[in-house]
Amino acid sequence: MPTAQEDRTSRRLAWCVAHLLRHAPDHVVLDVIHRLDGPTRKYLCRDAWLSAPTVTLLLRHGSDTDRGYIARNPRVVGRPLPGLPGPARYAARPGPAPGLLAPAGPGPLGQEALLALLRRHGRRPRAPLTLLRVPHDRLDPAALLREHARDPLPPGAVEALLLAGGLPLETCLALLDTRACPAYEARGAWHRPPVRAVRMGLATFEELVSHLAPAHLALRLADHPATTGLRWSLPEQAGMRTALTRALAPLGGSPRHWEALEHHAPGFRGPLPELVAAIAAGDPALAAGPAAGEPVRSPLGPVLRLLGPRAAQDPPEPRGEWEPGQFTAERALALVSLAVPMDSVREDIRWIRDCLARGLLTGEDVIRHKVPACWALDEDHWLGDADGPDRHDWPAPVLAAHAETARLTAALGDDPGAWWRAARALPDFTGTVPELCEAAAAAGSVP
């Protein structure tokens, strides 16, 4: 029976691990979770704010006990629980209209007839989900993928197959490859199947980047237009940007590589890792950027500026009426205050939100200067919580903080040992996030 002190230690470690693993590669997440002892793993699954990939990997590779704890976690909202989200809310709807099945004739639907109906009514998922409830022959994954590779199914049909098709994981990931249709975006809400795959727990962000094709669709998911339907929540959008930043890391800081990416990505039909590898390896067909003097006309420019290397930036431009030198002095005071926590979390939040509103601080500043590091990684400790973690009223500082954390944790690389050292040290570490990453990346122990 653990003592009260051991119980508090396990809870703190589980909380810190949950926040740190939001920025780790999938194999590192699995390695770190397997290193946790029983009580810490229980608190991680049952009580912590878990990112979508962490929940997915726990459900896929964890034990029945882990799945039971996740099902009881009140903070896992909208995540891939058994049967949620799924086609259950469509089950109460009446059967398909007679006109929907008239072309197929009586009897169970054959695979060809079912696919033809999915193509005809596949712009939105409601009709395809109804069709999949009609008696039909079992879908052959190999035949389905051949048909999809010849002419990709509409987004609504793909989303319905992810929800209710009962397909293997490999088949579900392969349905995200739409390279055979250059104008796939014109078929409807192209972003819904990738978002649904993550929301259901079928794919992590890393798997999404690896399987989604063409490459420019993966890049556009970093900042796809806000819609009133299925879309990224704020933590999901931050996680997608982190996965894309990790996939683009081989390009380094070379401006020529990034120009080549912007030039070739709109017309490249394969997934993003293939394009990045070809550019980084100096493929003559891809590595050359646009010709001298040739303007680059690409809709990906704003997205790549979000994901590309960031040079040292000047302090943010002041807003409002400022006396000469006053803004610089106020900003210096705000940066120093990050190293001196207030008497209460509420007071700390009030001060930092005021500095953010006045333009004195940015999300990057908080990650780089706030102590302790465990508070900096949890935006609830410096921005507050508005109606749950997915609905922060200030998304810009949160996204900026996640992007800066992704750049800093790149020093830990793919070494699970370095991530584990950072996770073990985080609850009691009194320094900043850059100091933690620098110390954990070294071979020795973290002070």
For the chain, 447 residues long, give each residue's pLDDT as a single digit of tens.
Answer: 668 788 899 999 999 999 999 999 999 999 999 999 999 999 999 999 899 999 999 989 999 999 889 888 888 865 554 444 445 555 555 556 666 666 656 568 889 989 999 998 888 888 888 888 888 888 999 999 999 999 999 999 999 999 888 899 999 999 999 999 988 888 878 999 999 999 888 999 999 999 999 999 999 999 876 667 788 988 899 999 999 999 999 999 899 999 999 999 998 999 999 999 999 998 766 644 444 344 444 578 889 999 988 644 445 555 555 565 667 888 899 999 999 888 888 899 999 999 998 889 999 999 999 999 999 999 988 988 765 666 667 889 999 999 999 999 999 999 999 999 999 999 999 999 999 999 999 866 666
Model pTM? 0.89
- Which residues are CB-contacts of 205 (< 8 A; sequence separation ≥ 6)? 52, 53, 198, 239, 240, 242, 243
> The tokens of 374 are what?
């465990």
Q: Is 230 exposed, middle or buried (0-12, 13-18, 19+ CB in 10 A)?
A: middle
pLDDT of residue 411: 93
pLDDT of residue 288: 42
pLDDT of residue 81: 47
CA dist 135 and 158 (Å) reads: 19
Q: Is the Cβ–Cβ distance between 367 and 409 less than 8 Å?
A: no
> The tokens of 230 are what?
């299925």
Q: Is the Cβ–Cβ distance between 77 and 390 less than 8 Å?
A: yes
pLDDT of residue 447: 64
Helix, strand, coil fractions of the chain, as percent rounded to 5? 60, 0, 40
Residue with tokens 């903080």: 401
pLDDT of residue 338: 94
Virtual torsion, Cα 186, 189, 193, 198, nearest 10 deg: 130
pLDDT of residue 287: 43
- Which residues are CB-contacts of 442 (< 8 A; sequence separation ≥ 6)? none
> The tokens of 303 are what?
């997205």
Residue with tokens 């009881």: 72
Question: Looking at residue 162, what DSSP letter applies?
Answer: H
